[in-house]
């Protein structure tokens, strides 16, 4: 939510993931899963499965403007002739009005969202500014800050993907074949000690990861490049992260039926 990802967009992305995986990983006799079975497995309608499979097969991006109203509002503010001046630039809009106003823009393209709520959200992400007279001017065409969006994409594409992949593997294999998946935590650190614990944790994690990186680098140089290229290769990796919960926060979901920490 910090970078403007709402439920509807998340749900659309999740639908694509469910359809993609159920299609490619659960087919019979080496063939992709048919639409009816994908619908049964995912709980989506056959019509929705067909639509999403078309998006996946075409390699097109999800049209987020259809599911994220603020994106649509900013887009129309820059393209609809009612809301741009003769030079093609977005007009400064009064909040209320029947023609070229912010309220009319939201009513036309924002669905059932009240104009006041849309104004508050666009101001929060610094996409618009409010003048002393209450009029609004758009200062950014994109709803999400690009720098933060890249951070989120990197975290989702690497860190969370790696953790989810490890969990998925460990569900299906014997313990002897499981990938390492551990966590160390405590709820008995004084608040005034947190900064020191955070610093020491960072130093030890950095030291550990440098050792892992050295190990991987050594393996990369053992064999000639052509031998590696002709061999079956795949990515391997280790992910480590630090976290803190708010004051009084407990990790009860990490306790077993006897109340002991796992």
pLDDT tens sequence across 176-233: 889 998 888 888 888 899 999 999 999 999 999 999 999 998 888 888 877 777 777 7
Place of tokens 């006897």: 258
Enclosing domain of residue 83: 69-138
Domain count of the fold of the chain: 4
Same domain, 200 and 259: yes
Q: Residue 46: is its pLDDT beyond 90?
A: yes
Q: Is 159 exposed, middle or buried (0-12, 13-18, 19+ CB in 10 A)?
A: middle
Q: How far apart are CA 110 and CA 122, in angstroms?
A: 12
Q: Is residue 2 part of a domain?
A: no
The token duo for 196 is 């020191």
CATH classification of the domain holding 86: 1.10.10
Res. 260 pLDDT band, cuts 50 70 90:
very low
Average pLDDT over the chain, rounded to an integer: 85
Q: Please say which residue of 138, 161, 196 terminates a domain.
A: 138
- Indicate the pTM of the whole model: 0.61
Q: Residue 256: is its pLDDT beyond 50?
A: no
pLDDT at 147: 61
Q: Tell me: the pLDDT tens digits for 141-190?
A: 877 666 666 677 777 777 888 888 899 899 988 888 899 988 888 888 88
Residue 30 φ/ψ region, left for φ over 0, alpha for ψ in the -120 to 50 degree band, beta for the rest: left
The token duo for 54 is 């078309």
Buried b (16+ CB within 10 A) or exposed e, 111-135: eeeebeebbebbeebebbeeeeeee
Q: Is residue 1 part of a domain?
A: no
Q: Is residue 25 part of a domain?
A: yes
């Amino acid at each position: 939510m910090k970078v403007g990802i709402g439920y509807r967009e998340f749900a659309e992305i999740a639908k694509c993931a469910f359809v993609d995986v159920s299609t490619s990983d659960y087919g019979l006799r080496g063939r992709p899963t048919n639409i009816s079975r994908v619908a049964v497995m995912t709980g989506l309608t056959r019509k929705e499965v067909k639509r999403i499979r078309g998006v996946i097969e075409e390699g097109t991006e999800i049209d987020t403007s259809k599911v994220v109203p603020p994106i649509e509002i900013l887009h129309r503010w820059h393209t609809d002739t009612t809301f741009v001046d003769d030079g093609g630039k977005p007009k400064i809009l009064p909040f209320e009005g029947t023609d070229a106003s912010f309220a009319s823009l939201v009513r036309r393209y924002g669905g059932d969202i009240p104009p006041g709520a849309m104004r508050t959200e666009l101001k929060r992400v610094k996409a618009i500014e409010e003048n002393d007279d209450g009029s609004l001017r758009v200062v950014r065409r994109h709803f999400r800050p690009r720098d933060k969006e890249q951070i989120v994409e990197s975290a989702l594409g690497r860190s969370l993907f790696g953790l989810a992949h490890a969990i998925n593997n460990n569900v299906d294999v014997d313990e002897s074949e499981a990938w390492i998946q551990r966590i160390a935590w405590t709820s008995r650190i004084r608040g005034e000690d947190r900064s020191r614990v955070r610093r020491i944790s960072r130093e030890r994690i950095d030291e550990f990861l440098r050792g892992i990186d050295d190990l991987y680098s050594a393996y990369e140089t053992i064999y000639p490049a052509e031998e590696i290229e002709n061999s079956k290769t795949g990515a391997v990796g280790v992910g480590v992260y630090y976290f803190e919960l708010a004051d009084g926060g407990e990790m009860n979901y990490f306790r077993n039926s006897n109340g002991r920490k796992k």
